[in-house]
Structure 1
Amino acid sequence: MSKQAQQTVLAAELPERGQPLAGGVFVTRYWLNGVERALILLPDELSGPWGEYGAEIKDAGCYSDGEANTRAMAEAGSVIAIKALELDGFIPSCLEGQLLMAAKADGLVAIREDRFHWLSSQRSANYAYNMGFGVGWLLNLDKSHERLARPVRSLPIQ
């Protein structure tokens, strides 16, 4: 990393949804763990398996906190999770994936529709959640299959 990513954003400096912010596109405001945050879709596209089929990763089952899930995935050796963190981003959770789908449906962001995208929320030892952005499907699929991942960044709003 050549420079450190932006760590917070002032509410008065938030752009309109769909406009550039912190190296990506501002998706929406949302609340996570009692903190209002700005969700940002990064331009990078990663590809690979979520993890190992049959290996449950402790602390990667959160439906809302993609950053915590991605950190747990990386600690367990997930290559796409490590790559996302190296970009100062993370793989979105189910909640964050649905916020991306809403922004895509509103025409604010562009996300590939021809392949399923990994979400960081683990379903079980064998499955993790995926989002099909073409029609908005939320599925759980075999963790060992190769899928895309679109990293995001989440900044606390001050």
Structure 2
Amino acid sequence: MNVKPLSLPAFGAEISGQGGFFAAILRAPRVDGVEQPPFALIVSSAAAGEFRSAWGEYGKDVSGTTSRTDGKANTDAMALAECPAALRVRALDIEGHTDWYLPSLGELNSAAANVPELFSTDGWYWTSTQTSRTSAFVQDFEYGTSDWDGKGRGHRVRAVRRIQLDLLTA
């Protein structure tokens, strides 16, 4: 069987019609125990999908936000709990796409490894991964470190979305 390999764009390339830039290829979360195909992580431009916000209410545990790999599920849980960062990212419409979410710790770590130049080195970026009722993980793009901080603090948020790998070459 002859399988033609995908010819992928470079990390950081703007992907036409997808609302942003190619940041990573990641393993998709399992659905009902079934392995899913990998996906491409698209990072919005700073102009269209970056803002400052509190993660959520300091001291409020948000159930369903501890995944280090599934930012979409974390953001769904955050939105149900009316966390301001999730509500703002969910309201975004960039190039007709409304499926934006806050990246998980693993997703934002991947962006930090592959496309740090797309992010500001001034300050921290929130992830959707909660560490406790008082804090969530943040990512730095100057030194590439992750830490946690109080959920009531105002940090940067950068919207991301998932696309199928074949859409990278369409």
| TM-score using structure 1 length | 0.85
Inter-partner Cα distance in structure 2 for 1:20 and 1:104: 12
Confirm whether residue 53 of structure 1 aligns to residue 64 of structure 2: no
Q: Which residue of 2 aligns with 1:4?
A: none
- The 5-angstrom pairing of residues 24-103 of structure 1 reads 24-33=20-29, 34-43=36-45, 44-87=49-92, 88=98, 89-103=100-114
RMSD (CA atoms): 1.6
- Which consecutive residues of structure 1, in runs of 5 or more, have no partner in the other structure? 1-10
Instruction: For residue 38 of structure 2, give the secondary structure of its aligned residue in structure 1.
Output: strand
Alpha-carbon shift at residue 13 of structure 1 (Å): 7.4
- Which consecutive residues of structure 2, in runs of 5 or more, have no partner in the other structure? 30-35, 93-97
Q: Which residue of 2 aligns with 1:120?
A: 128
Instruction: For residue 103 of structure 2, give the secondary structure of its aligned residue in structure 1.
Output: coil
Instruction: For residue 92 of structure 1, give the secondary structure of its aligned residue in structure 2.
Output: coil
Inter-partner Cα distance in structure 1 for 2:121 and 2:104: 18
Runs of 4+ residues deviating >4 angstroms:
11-14
Q: Which residue of 2 aligns with 1:17?
A: 11
Alpha-carbon shift at residue 139 of structure 1 (Å): 0.3
Q: Which has the larger radius of gyration?
A: 2
Percent of matched pairs sharing the same residue: 29
Inter-partner Cα distance in structure 1 for 2:62 and 2:13: 35
Alpha-carbon shift at residue 155 of structure 1 (Å): 1.4
Instruction: For residue 32 of structure 1, give the secondary structure of its aligned residue in structure 2.
Output: coil
Alpha-carbon shift at residue 14 of structure 1 (Å): 4.7
